[in-house]
Amino acid sequence: MRVALISLLGLLATIHGAPLTDDAFEQALELLPRQANVTCPPTPNPMPKAAALPAVKTMPDPFLYLDGNTRVKSKDEWVQCRQPEIMKLLQEYQYGYYPDHSLETVTAVRTGTKLDVTIAVGGKSSKISATLVLPTGTGPFPVIIAIGGIDNKAYTNAGIAVVTFDYGSVAADSNSKTGSFWTLYNGKDIGVLTAWAWGFHRVLDGIELKVPEIDATKSGVTGCSRLGKAALAAGLFDKRIAVTMPMCSGVQGAGPYRYSLSGQGETLENSKSGAGWWTSSGISQFVGKSTQLPYDAHTIVAAIAPRAVIIEQGNADPYTDSKGTAQVTFPAAKVVYNWLGVGEQLGVALPAGGHCDMNGYANILPFVQKVLQGKTTTRNFDDIGSWKFMPEAYPWGTDLPKGS
């Protein structure tokens, strides 16, 4: 009954031409009957090291708890138990532990199209500067927060604001640990992807405080390549974000660790050796042992549900494994979205083009408009063209929990 009502909520939102925001979705869920007495199995403490984890050649079962014996039985259990465990293991093994935002004080000053956000914590303070690009009209407008460039015109012409910030000033793309994030959190074992994600979130705070022309409840985040990895992390760590838009993100993003299908694909090994600062030290123990990771890219995407994700990959981009992302990560994560009754909230786009082709932003615009503006589209965002889904890579996909 509960999942039927969840689906009905989405249908009603579409009929009335307005997107169901994450806050509204969560509030509505609170009105629905929940399974009584959900008991979560204990998460191992301390978390197991790589050597203690089993090798799993296929994409790990997202419904299987870290104890390796207990499986999720219901949707309520997924929300109350398994999603929090996934968040913990992703921080333990990949991202580092996200800072406690409740300890931070955020203020903002706006001067025209410039927004300066100041964050204070523990007697220290730092600043992030953002640039506002608003559509014509009075708003309030939905917003996409982007790093590293975006097709502004396509979005502002569609009535969506664009806000950008200098990710390098938040955290340098190096081992130097310089930038506004490290001013506050120097010495923490946190990856730069998490630092950039934090930057997205603090800019969104500033928008909430000082930009009435923007409806901050209808926000998206995007970036391409390593910045696409950061955008996925941003969507993961902040429930305010309605749509997450990782572009050509590769491993540590939407690209699978276990399946490299595009020839010269990025791997855990070459990404860690080339830019080890993107993640915390926790992932180092899995170098050469990626099959022992207790998650894969589909787990990251599924942990964002029921909020929307659109995965974009240029079909001529072999390095970030477009083929593996489309044939394995997307359908494996889609199993979870469909099971939750929100399958339309996850899509994939494979435009012609190479790595970080700017045309990709216009290509996914109809999906973004559906989520943020409640517009309809006839576009099939499940279509992967001549490529085929690989269900053998996620054999648990036909053995779904039966509980409500």
pLDDT in tens, 148-202: 999 999 999 999 999 999 999 999 999 999 999 999 999 999 999 999 999 999 9
pLDDT of the residue at 34: 53
SS3 328: helix
When pLDDT is averaged across residues 380-390 and rounded to a whole number, the result is 98
pLDDT above 80: residue 14: no
Q: Provide the pairing of β-strand 214-224 with 346-349.
A: unpaired
Q: Is 355 known to be catalytic?
A: yes
- Burial label for 4, CB within 10 Å (0-12, 13-18, 19+), is exposed
What are the Cα distances from residue 216, in Å, to 25, 167, 239? 16, 20, 12
> pLDDT grade, residue 81 (50/70/90)?
very high
Span 364-380, mean pLDDT?
A: 98
Please determine, for residue 19, whether its predicted confidence score (pLDDT) is greater than 80: no
72 closest CA partner among 60, 82, 80: 82
Q: Is 187 left (phi over 0), alpha (psi -120 to 50) or beta?
A: left
Confidence grade of residue 37 (pLDDT, cut at 50, 70, 90): confident
pLDDT of residue 18: 46
Q: pLDDT, tens digit, for every residue of 104-137? A: 999 999 999 999 999 999 999 999 999 999 999 9
Q: Which of 74, 180, 280, 355 is catalytic?
A: 355
Q: What is the pLDDT of residues 53-64, one digit of tens each?
A: 999 999 999 999
Compare 19 and 345 and report the one with higher pLDDT. 345
Q: What is the pLDDT of residue 208?
A: 99
**What pTM was computed for the model?**
0.92
φ/ψ of 196, rounded to 5, equals -65, -40
At residue 20 the predicted structure's pLDDT band, cuts being 50, 70 and 90, is very low
Residues of 352-363 as b/e, b for ≥16 C-beta within 10 angstroms? ebebbbeebbeb
Is the pLDDT reported for residue 377 higher than 50?
Answer: yes
Is 50 exceeded by the pLDDT of residue 392? yes
Q: Is 225 a catalytic residue?
A: yes
Sheet containing strand 114-121, edge to edge, reads 105-111, 114-121, 124-133, 161-165, 141-146, 214-224, 241-247, 308-312, 346-349
Please tell me the predicted confidence (pLDDT) of residue 319.
Answer: 85
- Asked if pLDDT for residue 23 goes beyond 70, the answer is no
Average pLDDT over residues 368-381: 98
Does residue 331 register a pLDDT over 90? yes
Compute the mean pLDDT over every residue in the chain, rounded to the nearest whole number: 92
* pLDDT score for 248: 96
So what's the pLDDT on residue 404? 66
Average pLDDT, integer, range 265-281? 93
C-alpha–C-alpha distance, residues 174 and 159, integer Å: 36
Mark residue 7 as left, alpha or beta (left: phi above 0; alpha: psi -120 to 50; beta: remaining).
alpha
Segment holding 65, helix H or strand E: none
Query: Rounded mean pLDDT of 208-226?
Result: 98
Which residue in the list 74, 180, 225, 280 is annotated as catalytic? Answer: 225
Classify 2-398 by CATH class. alpha beta
Residue 32 has pLDDT above 60, yes or no: no
